[in-house]
Structure 1
Amino acid sequence: MIDAIGRRALIAGGAAAALTPWLPLWAKPVSAGLPTVSGPDVRLTIAHQTLAIDGRDHHAIGINGTIPGPLIRLTEGTQARLHVTNRLDEDSSIHWHGLILPFHMDGVPGISFPGIAPGATFTYEFPVRQAGTYWYHSHSGLQEQMGHYGPIVIDPAGADPVAHDREHVILLSDFSPLHPHAIFRKLKQMGGYFNHRKQTLSGLLAGRDQPLKDRIAWGAMRMDPTDISDVTAAAYRYLVNGHGPADNWTGLFRAGERVRLRIINASAMTTFNIRIPGLPMTVVQADGCNVRPVTVDEFQIGVAETYDVIVTPEDRAYTLVGETSDRSGMARATLAPRAGMAAPVPALRPRPVLTMKDMGMGGMNHGGNHGGGPACAPEHAAMGHCTPDAAGGHGGGMDHGMRDMTLAPTVRDTPAVQSISPMPADRTGEPGIGLEGVERALTYRDLIALDRNPDTRAPTRQMQIHLTGNMERYMWAFDGVKMNEVKAPIPFTQGERVRVTLVNDTMMTHPIHLHGHFFELVTGKGDHAPRKHTVNVQPGGKLSFDLTADAYGDWAFHCHLLYHMHAGMMQVVTVRPAGDAA
């Protein structure tokens, strides 16, 4: 069913359909039920409201009376001015996720500005320096979990290299009737509180679960191989543009059109695996940056990532499936040529079970190319674009930086470190948990930037950062140090080129986001390495990126799983000119 707002939007879209070829891109048909704001002055109001999901009302936080908030449409090369009024009874904020802007407009209380007090209005103003699909959300407390988020589309100043006839924003999220602080309390009491799908004796006998010897090994480590998502469908409803599966949000098309789907994972804690049964998807953009087209049947989207895909549907309905990586639930929507149509909704697939590789115990490769990455071509080595080996050697004669390439013994003994991955593997060639065995599933190594990277210098410094956690106490950190225990920010010299290697010492997937910057993934693609602002680091895995620290100021650096960040997996990156001691 389509709600009243969506129905009105569809009618309006039908009336304008004949004019579509003559409309500018920003005026072409977009997602039903998503109000759009644009222009030189955008006004946004944050307030409490009711959210109806599958026929039931819930207390939530919205923007301009909608969840998600309105689609903000900007144009590259213009000046954005956004006036944000806070009608809550607590401080709030908006962070413009993935946008390159002055640090004091980034919207992170305590780092880049003081926040927006109750009843106050704050004006964000910055030049729009990019194009693509992005989003915005609160960086205050746990408000993001309650509906405080929305999409951003920035149209390019010139011709768009991605040709399409129609577009739909597909914003995925998770919502719970439980207050987010109640969810966090339960996780602190027991990290696996919401995991209701543990291994059983019947599963062992039927061969669905791990062999007994592997179970014993996991038990000795006091870890659960089915604990893939901290918060599952036991607590969540999964939404598309604010609609539950039974609401069946529907996006219309004409048969044969090139339809652009701007897919945003705005959830608090959920990694989604995206597929449209019977309809291949061609990935054309990742995190707002254009990539060479690659056609897939399914892909994983981490929290805070965005992917744009092109589909060319026939004259029938299709189900868009956002299955959670633990396969406990799904977000569902429909693409159809006419309102009221629907396609079969597939059943949830069997839940995955973690292996010893997910604990960093299966990635050793004595050939020097750990994780099975491609051999490094000489031209890539010269530019420092080779996959690092497990010992931290990167080629190119880089000097060691301010952080050692190992986790110090004193850090290992902190409460926020439950385990260390002895053999972390480069898993950028794997599609992610829940997609094992899918023939055409996207991996990071499939991504190649459409344009040459803006900075192709080889890194002159390297650092390694461990992603650490303790599920029993629900503590999360970088290098075993929680945000409230950090003594100093991570320093960069403005303009320097640094290779950062993230090592995941936990059995959880972590989407790591650096504010104010893009970085190039080290996957052997040379000067066309894919550029991202958020990267999913698989369990027991490691991943390297090259960063040009070109954005002056103080920036948040954190895991985008909301409760991991809240529990301490966040630090501050500071970028200062050479010789600046401030």
Structure 2
Amino acid sequence: MGRRGFLAGSGLVAGALAVPGWARGQSLTHARRGFGEVSGERIALTIGDHHFTTGARSGHAVAVNGSVPGPLVRLREGQDVTIDVINTLAEDSSIHWHGLLLPFQYDGVPGISFPGIKPGETFRYSFPVRQNGTYWWHSHSDLQEQQGLYGPLVIDAAEPDTRYERDYVVLLSEFTPRHPHEIARMLAVGEHYFNRQMTTVGDGSMSAEERLMWGEMRMNPRDISDVTGATYTYLVNGHGPADDLSFAFTPGERVRLRVINGSAMTFFNVRIPGTSMTVIAADGQEVEPVEVDEFQIGTAETYDVIVTPQAGTHALVAEAMDRSGMGVATLTSAAGAIATPPPLREPVTLTMADMGMHGGMGAMDHSGAAMDHSGMDHAAMGHAMPTQGAAPGNASEPMDHSMRDTALLPPQVEVGPGIDMVAPMPVDRMDFPGLGLDTVSHRVLRYTDLVARDANPHRMPERQLEIHLTGNMERYMWSFDGKRFNAVTDDPIRFGFDERVRVKLVNDTMMAHPIHLHGHFFELVNGAGMMNQPRKHTLVVQPGSTATFDLTANEPGDWAFHCHLLYHMHAGMMQTVTVRPFPAAEAAA
């Protein structure tokens, strides 16, 4: 059955056209900061225009059930759920259930898996709940995610979990009164528009030689985040730092924190100074416990941690990766007591390793170490893996030629104005803790620390695929293999149903990209044994590096595959993954 047949019966319910208040000349209702909870077998979510204020920033927002973020959707493993989403906006909208395994026509991506929700209409999502864990939901329409259309989703396990006494959602995000299309326009005009931490001649952060090198490459070593605290207020559960959000606990209690990065553009470094955290799940999937003092969480990732704080107050800090601001909350055993957060740390500066050169050359290439190629049918592997060129012998020499040597790219990459950098020697950096965290003295989580708690079925890959993450930072063009999404809609990435594929992502850019595949979990090739490779739905690919995962394509349909930095996806770093054929039982339905 083709896409059209699924879309025709995919659950649109007609409704009377709702004219939003601002179109009738009325003032908008203020959205509530924070969220309530909805649960059960029938749930209703209403999308509407509101006003939102946090600290000194105030502006338009798109709220769900009157709050930003929208309500916590709490489900139970094994139940069936029907969710009616009512769109009262004057424009199309949608909700994508991030990380959920469900029929593709309910995945919520307009143009790929359903037609979207028109103004005044209701769309009925109906699916069985096949998993448990920490997830979230958000719009996939017209940059509405930036405006407040997102919320947490928790699926309780069928069996009670006795590892903790309290359970809190910690949803990290941002707010800006600027319209998202205005932000997109500003980034296209100048990618450094929101950067207030550029290096200067007198700041002493670089030698004259290094400054000349970066100038030759027309790049800036402080280009860490596209949109920063210059326009964002960083939120925890919809609350800015001035709101004094707190989470109560009783001394001796074990507290589960379900940390969700629901931001549009921000990587966060999460820590509770003086208190260790035990990571027990990544992207909703259980892992062997790992004790850390800090972790970096990319946009769209989730981590579950257990903490046992001592009596008193403890600052829960979510510092933006570029260190332009932070989200703050308090863990407290004393009602009304608020912790003092630490100051922002020094800005982060990129290195040679982030350009795919020199640094990290001794790192283990997990994509080859864990795989015996001798028994593989190389004729069925797609294209051959390219041999990367050598880096220049002197790191202080001008890099303009070497950083743009498109001869290093494999033939499937479309070379053109959309590519302004090619990493000459990208290596696997699964053991890298994240930009700015490689020099701290305490324990920081790395992908190589993650080991699946439950064994995965053992299957060797049948095919290998390489995908390059490409971009032109000056022109704000982002793509896969040099092809922006609007140019490749008729040429999806194709997988056979139940095919086992090893996918190698090569980041030719100097920015970290959180790459998300809808409808599936893949297994990180991170050095863990093949049966215990951790399962994730979102993978951060570090600048100038590679990252590899194994995928069993066992969810038929058409799925989005994209960078989860909202404006990178909007600018073209997105593709359709199609899994065919449908199993015989489904095709006959």
- TM-score, L = length of structure 2: 0.87
CA distance in 2 between partners of 1:364 and 1:51 (Å): 44
Name the structure 1 match of 2:473: 471
8 Å contact kept, 1:508–1:538 = yes
Q: Does 1:441 align with 2:444?
A: yes
Runs of 4+ in 1 over 4 A off after TM superposition: 373-377
SS in 2 for 1:340: coil
Match of 2:540 in 1: 536
Classify 1:534/1:277 alpha carbon distance in 2 versus 1 (closer, same or farther; 3 Å).
same
Q: Distance in 1 between matches of 2:57 and 2:477?
A: 34
Taking the aligned partners of 2:422 and 2:296, their CA distance within structure 1 comes to: 25
Distance in 2, matches of 1:514 and 1:56, equals 34
> For residue 173 of structure 1, what is the amino acid of its counterpart?
S
Task: Indicate if the aligned counterparts of 2:173 and 2:261 stay in contact, CA closer than 8 A.
Answer: yes
In the other structure, the counterpart of 2:46 is 45
Conservation of the 8 A alpha-carbon contact between 1:273 and 1:434: no
Aligned to 1:27: none
Q: Give 1:104's aligned amino acid.
A: Q
* Aligned match of 1:371: 363
2:453 to 450, 458, 461: 450
3-state DSSP of counterpart to 2:291: strand
Match in the other structure for 2:238: 242
8 Å CA contact retained: 1:363, 1:425: no
Q: 1:576 to 1:340 in 2, by over 3 A?
A: same
Task: For 2:189, give the aligned amino acid.
Answer: Q
Q: Secondary structure at the match of 1:48?
A: strand
2:319 counterpart of 1:323: yes
What secondary structure sits across from 1:116 in the alignment? coil
1 CA distance for matches of 2:212 and 2:243?
43
CA distance in 2 between counterparts of 1:426 and 1:411 reads 20
Q: Secondary structure at the match of 1:202?
A: coil
Q: 1:395 to 1:470 in 2, by over 3 A?
A: farther
SS in structure 2 at match of 1:492: strand
Per-residue Cα deviation, 1:550-578 (whole angstroms, up to 9, x for no partner): 01000000000000000000000000029
CA contact (8 A) 2:418 2:471 kept: yes
- Determine the structure 1 residue equivalent to 2:133: 132
Q: Is the 8 A contact 1:431 1:442 kept in 2?
A: yes
Q: C-alpha separation between the residues in 2 aligned to 1:107 and 1:320?
A: 33
Larger CA deviation: 102-111 vs 210-219: 210-219
- Following TM superposition, by how much is the alpha carbon of 1:381 offset from its aligned partner in structure 2, in angstroms? 3.9
Task: For residues 510-540 of structure 1, give each alpha carbon's deviation from its aligned partner in whole angstroms, at most 9, with x where no partner exists.
Answer: 0000000000000121211110000111001
Alpha carbons 1:210, 1:353 under 8 Å: kept: no
Structure 1 residues 197 and 450: alpha-carbon distance in aligned structure 2, compared to 1, 3 A threshold: same
Note closer, same or farther for the CA distance 1:131–1:398 as it changes in structure 2 (3 Å cut): farther
Cα deviation, 1:344-394, whole Å, max 9, x if unaligned, reads 2111100010011101012574xxxx62357988xx545xxxxxxxxxxx5
CA gap of 1:539–1:47, structure 2 versus 1, over 3 A, is same
| Alpha-carbon distance in structure 2 between the residues aligned to 1:433 and 1:239 | 21
Following the alignment from structure 2 to structure 1, what is the Cα–Cα distance between the partners of residues 271 and 194?
25
Q: Which runs of 5+ in 2 are unaligned?
A: 1-32, 387-408
Q: Give the alignment's Cα RMSD to 1 decimal.
A: 1.9
Q: Check the 8 A contact 2:57/2:176 in 1, yes or no.
A: no
Q: Residues 279 and 311 of structure 1 are in contact (CA less than 8 Å); yes or no, is this contact kept in structure 2?
A: yes
Alignment partner of 1:402 is 2:382: yes
User: Residue 59 of structure 2 contacts residue 178 of structure 2 at CA under 8 Å; is this kept in 1?
Assistant: no
**Deviation for aligned residue 1:314:** 1.3
Say if 2:464 is the partner of 1:462: yes
Q: Are 1:424 and 2:426 an aligned pair? A: yes
Question: Are the counterparts in 2 of residues 257 and 312 from structure 1 also a CA contact under 8 Å?
Answer: yes
Give the alignment's TM-score, normalised by structure 1. 0.88
Q: How much has 1:339 moved relative to structure 2?
A: 2.8
Q: CA deviation at 1:159?
A: 3.4
Deviation string, structure 1 residues 312-351 (Cα, Å, up to 9, x no partner): 0111001111111111111111111133211221111000
Cα 1:297–1:330 shift into 2, 3 Å: same
Aligned-partner SS, 1:184:
helix
The separation in 1 between residues aligned to 2:59 and 2:423, in whole angstroms, is 41
**Partner residue in 2 for 1:567:** 571
- Identify the residue that residue 500 of structure 1 maps to in structure 2: 503
Q: Given residue 364 of structure 2, which amino acid in structure 1 is its aligned partner? A: G
Shift of 1:410: 7.8
- Which letter does structure 1 place at the counterpart of 2:417? P
Q: How many Å separate the matches in 1 of 2:521 and 2:195?
A: 35
Offset of residue 56 of structure 1: 4.6
Deviation at 1:411, TM superposition (A): 3.6
Deviation at 1:194, TM superposition (A): 0.9
Partner residue in 2 for 1:14: none
SS of the residue 1:477 aligns to: strand
Name the SS of the counterpart of 1:547 in structure 2: strand
Aligned equivalent of 1:345, options 341, 347, 354: 341
User: What SS class does the counterpart of residue 318 from structure 1 fall into?
Assistant: strand
| 1:484 alignment partner in structure 2 | 486
**2:146 maps to which residue?**
145
Code of the aligned partner of 1:123: R
Aligned length: 527
